[in-house]
Each structure stands twice: as structure tokens, then as C-alpha cells.
Amino acid sequence: MLGGLTLGLNMEDKINRLVEKQLRKPAFPGLALSLYRRSDQMALDISAGNLAGDHPFFIASATKLYITAILLQLAEAGRLTLDDPLSSHLPAAELAQLHNFKGKDYSARLTLRHLMAHTSGLPDYFQQKRMGKSLLGRLQAGEDQSWRYEDTLRWTRQMQASFPPGTGRKAYYSDSNYQLLGRIIELAEEGDMADVLQARIFAPLGLARTYLYKDAADLTPRILNYKTAPLEIRRAMTSFGPDGGIVSTAPEMMAFLRGFFEGRLFDTAVLPGLYDWRKVMFPLQYGSGVMRFATPWFFSPFKKQPDLLGHSGLSGAFIFHAPQTGIYLAGTVNQIASPGASFQLMLQAMNAL
């Protein structure tokens, strides 16, 4: 489905061939892609395969950028600062013994910025092994399950932290960080995360098909794929909440992405203060609530690509902006076993533009 300004046939052909090539791979039964170029207001929306018709999908950890937007809104309103200690916002019982490193509890030193930037050192309740296997590994094996916020705290306490909060240039990507940030937002807003997202992000931007997934009986979002098979983990998807539970479409992700970087949600003067980049997982770097993809040379050996700012998700979802070129990209390949596929798609799409 094409939208926006009329494209030249050469560009349209390139994009269509790119989509067709991706869908020929058995591990990618569906694809959604939305592009926008600010210089000439060129817009393009494509949805194909089992995501045709802009079928909603899980955006996974791309959710974290929406949480960042809310935190920036609360900071702008004077409700908090990003350098507040967690003890200013969370009950003592929730913090006690949460950050254990070499026998010492560092929980009192944790700040909101530590969580946003993954410099807390906190264990990752989702991908880190606990009792021999990670929660991610269990889900990939088909062991669908649900959990509560309290469970993520308990699991975090059962694992040792990677380093004391704010140690040098260290960063460790942990979904536990955004579980805590979600809790802080709910307490500040005195409401459920789904309602807060609706009031602060979805409604103001007119996002009618974007919501926080909370009911495993809701069959609206397309099922995820793991390798060449569908992965039925709807109970788990109800549990991620602020670290990965949003459902959306590529055009509505684009609307949010532009809203984030173009000042429709908060004053963009604060954005440069978030860009203190640290390595989290090659080739990704993390600032305060924002991810940077600095293209490695082997992804694009014949053409230097601009840095992309935004966020990706394990589901294959992506929302990124290239400030140097004014290009925005959003969508999904809906495949959790190929973390590089969404980035390759973005680079190929940018080359076509």
C-alpha cells in the first residue's frame, strides 16, 4: 500500500523489489514499512504478506521510546527530574536489595537516568539466565506464561548486578530498568500504564490503532515468528507493559516517531542532553532512553550511512530517524530470530530513497 506523494517509478520499483525479496524468505511471512523524507515531504507506506492492510503487530522494545517520551513530558512539567533517585518515587520495600553487586546493596544509588540509559547495572529479568535458563529461552521453547511487576522485582533480586550504578562508561541493557520506570510513571500519574499512554501519547497524536496489549484473548495483533514457525506467546505479551507491550501499525509508529523528534510531545531542546552514547550490544549504542544505530562498514561497504536514532524491538520492529538526512523509518519484519534483518531493511530502504 503506497501513500503520500507520488514516487518516481525507479524508486517505487526499488522499494517493491526490496519487499518482494524479503517476503520470499520463509522466515518472513509479513512486512510493514513506513518512510518519510522531510526535505520534500515524501511519504511511503507498504504492508505486505500477512501484515497486508496495515495489520497491527507487536512493537516489543520499541515501546521504550514511548516511555521515554512520557518521562520527558513529566520532567517538562516539573513533576520529576531525570536525575532523581528512585527512592524519591518508589516505596522502600520495592527497592530493598534490588541491586546486589558482590554482596553490597547499591539500590539507594539508582536514579531515573541510570534506568533510562541502562547504566544501572541491574540484571535483565528477561534475557539473563536464572536457574539455568532465561525467560526469553523459555518463551522461544513455546513455554508461554504471564507475570506481574512484582515477579520482575523478585527475579531481578535473584540475579547479581553487572556493576554499581553509573560505573564509568559501562552500560548493560536490562528490561528490568523499564519495568521500574513504568511503575514510577504509574505512581506519578495515579493510573494504569495503558491509560497513561492513551492520554499522553496515543490520543494527542491521533493514534487510533495503537494500544498497550493486556488481554491474551485479543487476537488483533499478528502473531510473532521465530525462525520459520509462528510463536504463540500472547500471555507473555500481556506482561511486558512498559518494556515492550505496545501494539501498533507502521504508519502510526511513524506518527509517533515524528512527534517525538519534531516537538509534538515535548520541547525538543532536551534531546541533545539524552545523547551520551554508550555501547550496549554491537552495533547499538544507548543514550538516556534513546538508541543509536551507527552503521558498521560491512552493512554498507560502498556507502557511508548516517546514524539512526530511535529504538528497535526484539520482534523485528523499528522506529528510527536519521537527523543528517531528515529520513524517518518505522515498521517491522516480525521475526525475533534475526535481529539484523530490520536494520538491513532500513539501510536498503534508505539507499532506495
CATH code, domain with 158 = 3.40.710.10
Q: What is the pLDDT of residue 353?
A: 78
pLDDT-derived band at 1 (thresholds 50, 70, 90) equals very low
Q: What is the pLDDT of residues 177-196, one digit of tens each?
A: 999 999 999 999 999 999 99
Q: Where are the beta strands (DSSP E) in the chain?
A: 30-37, 42-49, 57-58, 100-101, 104-105, 211-212, 224-226, 229-231, 246-248, 278-281, 284-286, 291-293, 308-312, 317-322, 327-332
C-alpha cell at 258: 515524528
Task: Give, rounded to a whole angstrom, the gap between the first and last alpha carbons of the chain.
Answer: 17
Do 56 and 69 lie in a common domain? no
Do 216 and 341 lie in a common domain? yes
In a domain, 201, yes or no: no
Do 76 and 48 lie in a common domain? no
In a domain, 4, yes or no: no
Query: How large is the angle between the packed helices 175-189 and 149-157, nearest 10 degrees?
Result: 140
Q: What is the pLDDT of residues 252-264, one digit of tens each?
A: 999 999 999 999 9
Task: Give, in order, the Cα–Cα distances in Å from 221 to each of 59, 225, 246.
Answer: 10, 12, 10
Q: What is the domain count for the chain?
A: 2
In DSSP terms, 229 is beta-bridged to 226
Do 85 and 182 lie in a common domain? yes
Do 216 and 342 lie in a common domain? yes
Do 213 and 125 lie in a common domain? no
Q: What is the pLDDT of residue 54?
A: 94
Do 179 and 256 lie in a common domain? no
Q: Count of H helices and E strands in the chain?
A: 12, 15
Domain range for 336: 9-64+209-352
In a domain, 2, yes or no: no
Q: How many CB atoms lie within 10 A of CB 351?
A: 13
| Lowest-confidence segment of 8-22, 98-112, 191-205 by average pLDDT | 8-22
> How large a percentage of the chain has pLDDT more than 70?
96
Q: Cβ neighbours of residue 224 under 8 Å, at least 6 residues apart?
A: 58, 230, 231, 233, 315, 334, 335, 336
- CB-based contact 98:153 (threshold 8 Å): yes
Do 189 and 271 lie in a common domain? no
**129-145 burial by CB neighbour count: b if 16+ within 10 A, else e?**
eeeeebbbeebeeeeee
